[in-house]
A and B are shown apart, each in its own frame.
Chain A
Amino acid sequence: MEHVALWIAAFLTLGIYSFLYKDNIWYKLCESIFVGISAGYWFVVLFWDNIYGKFWVGVFPPKAYNDAGELVNSAEPDYLLIVGAVLGVMMISRLIPKIGWVSRWPLAFIVGSTSGLYLINYFTSNMMRQVEATIIPLFGMNYELSAYDIIGNLVIVIGTFTGLVYFFFSKEHKGWFGRTAKIGIWTIMITFGASFGYTVMSRMSLLIGRIDFLFGDWLGLIK
């Protein structure tokens, strides 16, 4: 079985790579398998973990013997979960165009909850905390910082400030404001350069991982 498995995995891997030569039947076959399998994967996992594990077990808790030897619910049934399930079923209604509008209710619920949570989360963690973290004494509390750290502090403060200036749309980029924005865009470019480097690193790692599979696990040429 192990042999079959390895050959299947290798067949699929090479099939996807054949796209690099050109779009072909082998690639399309592997792609279709991928689409089907991943949709099915989610289907199964969500069934067991959420619809069974959370909803069903929550509403109908498994029975267990208590200390007195009676068969009782192992936890209090949580009937409120039924509301969630009803909303979920309404979501599926979208498949039938005639009653598709019903699916707006659960959609509204999802959009509303994410908006409410996002508003607070992003405001506190990604704005307030970041502004707070940028308010730093440039030379440290007692001049204890080295030149390296002082320059670093300066770079952080100036970079963040000028970066914000660049994304400020209510004032024309002219004069000192324009020059400040210029420094801002330079900082952002350095940032993008770093992201560029890291993205390249990431993509290459994935390829290396697959090559490790092909030459190591499959063909056994490397350890």
Chain B
Amino acid sequence: MHVGKSTSLYLPQLFFLFLFICNFLLLSLVYAQTDDPLLNSEDSSVAIPDSELVVVAPVTSLIAEDYKYDDGKQINLSWVPSIDDQLVGSKVLGYRLFRIIDDGKPELLAKLRCGANSYSDGKLKSESVYSYYLEAFSKNFIATSTRTVPISPEREWINFDRKYLFLLAFIIGGAVIFFIESARRGKKLFVRKIAGLEAVDEAIGRATEMGRPILFIPGILDMNDVQTLAGITILGRVSQQIANYDTKIRMPVSRSLVMTAARETIKAAYQTAGRPDQYSDDMVNYVTDEQFGYVAAVDGIMVREKPATVFLMGAFFAESLILAETGNSVGAIQIAGTARPAQLPFFIAACDFTLIGEELFAASAYLSGEPKQLGSLKGQDVGKGIAMAAILIGVLAETIGTAWNVEFMNDVVRWLTILFTTQ
């Protein structure tokens, strides 16, 4: 196409463009009528003969603003709707929003319903300059607003919408680190008593009395899982008692690394108790990595040796049921602990004591006294404290605020909502 060679060439093109636009508008009106009942508000518009021109006022105060706190991708638009845009008997049928990029041709960006007064345009480029205008249209009239001043979206450094989220995360994270540090410095951190742990001694006593072995299953995951680690920590406590009372222990495991760790733990306990000669490597043996193969083997051990007490501490999957059932059928006292929510119900229903979820970690932290674990537990308690306080205050304030319309309470709720909002 040869642009601007002579003015005579322009006329037919302009004519075609004009036809095209008319056609397009017509089509979009038809489209709006078939597809969008809201734009086609025949019921709400005043009955006017088709021939009469329905003059409407354009929208005013159209403002384009860069959306803050993003990487230069969004512009927010706001305007005051046309005064002819009314709830009942509106003359305005809707709006069309046009965008001009870098002084190019206007392009239709969106069709909006009556009453719309804002729009956000995403996926922009920070290098380009954008300006917008709105058309308010009636049955046969279009009122165009003034164009906005061209702007380009800017890239910002910090998303201040998320400042409170950052603050809360900072407080909780800070608490974790603070408590880890203070535990390292030797400060004693309090952890409440955990019912399942108290049952441990009793259960070991029972096995000693009956002269039958104790079975310890540390789950089926490897040493890199926190639940296995917690299980081994609890094994430490169990093996101290065993070494003192000289009770037998059997520990089939499904990972070779767990086997090594468990042997070390039990050996250490026997050494502390002053009878290292009583320890033997046979107490812990590796069976297989295969889930069901392992279960079949453990089942066999349970049926043959009839342990008096069974510990199930660690990460369990589908096998939880089978193990707990067999343990139950041989009449053992069972103490279980896992953090896997799907398996917990089965343990609670089939075992005598269960460490539920975080209790397992709390027990482990309590027993090991490791600063890392204790500090985290304390830090998490700070988080829970914040959550509890927010729920208590928030619900009370919101209930009172809405019931008696107390302004102060509403302020509290507003403030809490801002604090906890994630958007």
Q: Does A189 contact B (CB under 8 A)?
A: yes
Decide if B292 touches A19 in the complex (CB within 8 Å): yes
Decide if B395 touches A135 in the complex (CB within 8 Å): yes
Q: Which residue in chain B gives the minimum CB-CB distance to A197?
A: B345
Q: What are 18 inter-chain pairs, A to B, with CB distance below 8 A? A: A31-B293, A123-B169, A131-B420, A134-B394, A136-B398, A137-B398, A139-B403, A140-B402, A142-B402, A157-B395, A161-B388, A161-B392, A164-B384, A165-B388, A169-B362, A171-B192, A195-B341, A196-B345
- Chain B, residues 106-132, CB within 8 Å of chain A (1/0): the string is 000000000000000000000000000
Q: Does B190 contact A (CB under 8 A)?
A: yes
Collect the chain A residues with CB atoms within 8 Å of residue B390's CB: 131, 135
Name A's interface SS: helix
Q: Among A138, A139, A188, A189, which residue has the most Cβ atoms of chain B within 10 A?
A: A138
Collect the chain B residues with CB atoms within 8 Å of residue A157's CB: 391, 395
B103 CB to nearest A CB, Å? 26
Decide if B395 touches A170 in the complex (CB within 8 Å): no
- Chain A, residues 103-136, CB within 8 Å of chain B (1/0): the string is 0000000000000000100011101110110111
Q: Does B214 contact A (CB under 8 A)?
A: no
- Chain A, residues 141-172, CB within 8 Å of chain B (1/0): the string is 11100000000000001001100110111111
Q: Does A199 contact B (CB under 8 A)?
A: yes
Q: Does A193 contact B (CB under 8 A)?
A: yes
Q: Which residue in chain A gives the minimum CB-CB distance to B363?
A: A169
Q: Does B77 contact A (CB under 8 A)?
A: no
Measured between alpha carbons, how far is A92 from B6 in the docked complex, in Å?
69
- Known contacts: A189-B348, A199-B342. The answer to whether A139 contacts B192 by CB under 8 A is no
Q: Does A23 contact B (CB under 8 A)?
A: yes
Q: Which residue in chain A gives the minimum CB-CB distance to B385?
A: A168
**Looking at the complex, which one of A142, A188, A199 makes contact with B356 (CB distance below 8 Å)?**
A188
Which segment of B15-23, B50-58, B375-383 sits at the interface?
A: B375-383
Collect the chain A residues with CB atoms within 8 Å of residue B31's CB: none
Measured between alpha carbons, how far is A50 from B381 in the docked complex, in Å?
42
Decide if B378 touches A128 in the complex (CB within 8 Å): no
**Looking at the complex, which one of B193, B359, B387 makes contact with A164 (CB distance below 8 Å)?**
B387
Q: Which residue in chain B gives the minimum CB-CB distance to A178?
A: B192
Collect the chain B residues with CB atoms within 8 Å of residue A172's CB: 192-193
- Known contacts: A161-B392, A164-B388. The answer to whether A124 contacts B345 by CB under 8 A is no
Measured between alpha carbons, how far is A172 from B362 in the docked complex, in Å?
13
A41 CB to nearest B CB, Å? 17
Collect the chain B residues with CB atoms within 8 Å of residue A168's CB: 381, 384-385, 388
Measured between alpha carbons, how far is A157 from B165 in the docked complex, in Å?
22
Decide if A195 touches B391 in the complex (CB within 8 Å): no
Measured between alpha carbons, how far is A28 from B241 in the docked complex, in Å?
39
Q: Which residue in chain A gives the minimum CB-CB distance to B291?
A: A31
Q: Which residue in chain A gives the minimum CB-CB distance to B397?
A: A135
Name B's interface SS: helix
Q: Does B230 contact A (CB under 8 A)?
A: no
Q: Does A47 contact B (CB under 8 A)?
A: no
Measured between alpha carbons, how far is A136 from B391 in the docked complex, in Å?
9
- Known contacts: A124-B165, A132-B420, A170-B190. The answer to whether A196 contacts B346 by CB under 8 A is yes
**Looking at the complex, which one of B192, B292, B398 makes contact with A170 (CB distance below 8 Å)?**
B192
Measured between alpha carbons, how far is A167 from B420 in the docked complex, in Å?
21
Collect the chain A residues with CB atoms within 8 Å of residue B416's CB: 135
- Known contacts: A31-B290, A132-B417, A135-B413. The answer to whether A170 contacts B391 by CB under 8 A is no
Contacts A161-B392, A196-B349 aside, 8 further interface pairs with beta carbons under 8 A come to A123-B165, A128-B420, A137-B395, A139-B399, A157-B395, A164-B391, A192-B348, A199-B345
Decide if A160 touches B391 in the complex (CB within 8 Å): yes
Decide if A31 touches B345 in the complex (CB within 8 Å): no
Nearest 6 interchain pairs by C-beta: A135-B394, A196-B345, A192-B345, A132-B420, A124-B422, A137-B402
Decide if B422 touches A173 in the complex (CB within 8 Å): no
Measured between alpha carbons, how far is A137 from B422 in the docked complex, in Å?
20
Q: Which residues of B from 314 to 354 have beta carbons under 8 Å from A?
A: 341-342, 344-346, 348-349
Decide if B383 touches A127 in the complex (CB within 8 Å): yes
- Chain B, residues 86-107, CB within 8 Å of chain A (1/0): the string is 0000000000000000000000
Q: Does B357 contact A (CB under 8 A)?
A: yes
Q: Among A19, A169, A172, which residue has the most Cβ atoms of chain B within 10 A?
A: A169
